[in-house]
Amino acid sequence: MDSATIIFAEGEENTTTSILHFINKLEKDTRFSVIHASNCNKILENLKSNRPDFILYDLDTSSNQENDLFNHISTQNDLKDVHLIFVSQQKNIHDKIKQFDQLTQRITQLEEVCTVDPLTNLYNRRYLEERIEKEISRSHRRGFPISCLMIDVDNFKSINDTYGHQTGDIVLMKIALILMDSCRTADVICRYGGEEFTVVLPETDTTGALMTAERIREKVENEVFSINGVDFSISVSIGVSSKTANQPINKQILIELADKSLYKAKRSGKNRVMIYED
C-alpha cells in the first residue's frame, strides 16, 4: 500500500513522552511518512506543498492556535478529506473541546448559508454544481445510470403580476414541498434559480426518471393553491435527461440535455414531461 503522510505538530513546549513514543513508532513503520511541524504556522506552510492524510496535533502545548488550524482546514475544499486528530494527556481539556464544538457549529451554519436557498430551504445552484459532479463520478465508477430533471413553473410571471410577488414566493415554497414529497431521500433537489428547479436522480434510468417527473407534474396540476382567500391552479413543465450505466457524460451535458428537454416541453404546450432526442 502507499504510505500515509502525517504532519505532527509537536508544539512549542514539551510534548509528552508517550506521544513522542507513538510518533517514533510511526516513523519506523514504512506505511507512514511523518513530517514534523513546531506549530500551527509551520503546519499551514507545509500544507502549501504537501497534502497529508492526517494532521496530529498535541493539545498539551501553549500555542493556542487550534481554532485557526481547524478553520483553515474546514474551509479549504482540497483539504476537507484530511483527518485532523488532537491528542492530549490533560485531564481538563473540556474547555478546548467546547471551543471546537462551537467552531464546528459555526462552520456548519456558514456552509448551510452558502448551499441552501433561503426561500425554499432546498439546495441552491452552487450545491448542485458540486453534488452532480460527485454523483456522475459515482455513476461512472459503479456502473449505475443517473438522470436529471429540469422543472419550470408555467406562466410564473403572470402569477406575480396578478397576485403579487409574495404570492409568487408562497407558490415556490409549495412547489418545493411537492418536490420533497415526490422524491426519494437519495435524490438531490435544488432551486436552480427563479422559478426553475433541478432534481438529480442517482441510480435512475430514463424510465424511472420519466415516472418521477410525471408524478411531480400530476401533483402540481392537482394541487389547489389557496392564498389570501384566492384559489388557483398552476402547472409545471419538466425536461428529462439520463445517462446509461456505461455512457460517458459530464455535468454540463446532463444539465444541458435536461434544459433542452424543458424548452421542448414549453414549446409543445407546457404542463408536460419531455425528453430530448436528436
pLDDT tens, residue by residue, 164-206: 999 999 999 999 999 999 999 999 999 999 999 999 999 999 9
| Cα 258 to Cα 148: distance, rounded to the nearest angstrom | 6
Q: What is the pTM of this model?
A: 0.63
Cell numbers given for 192: 436552480
Cell numbers given for 177: 414541498
Q: How confident is the model at residue 14 (pLDDT cuts 50, 70, 90)?
A: low
Q: How confident is the model at residue 62 (pLDDT cuts 50, 70, 90)?
A: very low
Distances, alpha carbon 205 to alpha carbons 47, 137, 195, in Å: 42, 16, 26
Residue 138 has pLDDT above 80, yes or no: yes
In tens, the pLDDT along 237-261 reads 999 999 876 777 788 899 999 999 9
Among all residues, which ones are annotated catalytic?
195
- Contact present, 183 and 214 (Cβ < 8 Å): no
| Cα 25 to Cα 32: distance, rounded to the nearest angstrom | 10
In tens, the pLDDT along 140-169 reads 888 899 999 999 999 999 999 998 999 999
- Contact present, 172 and 195 (Cβ < 8 Å): yes
| Cα 115 to Cα 190: distance, rounded to the nearest angstrom | 10
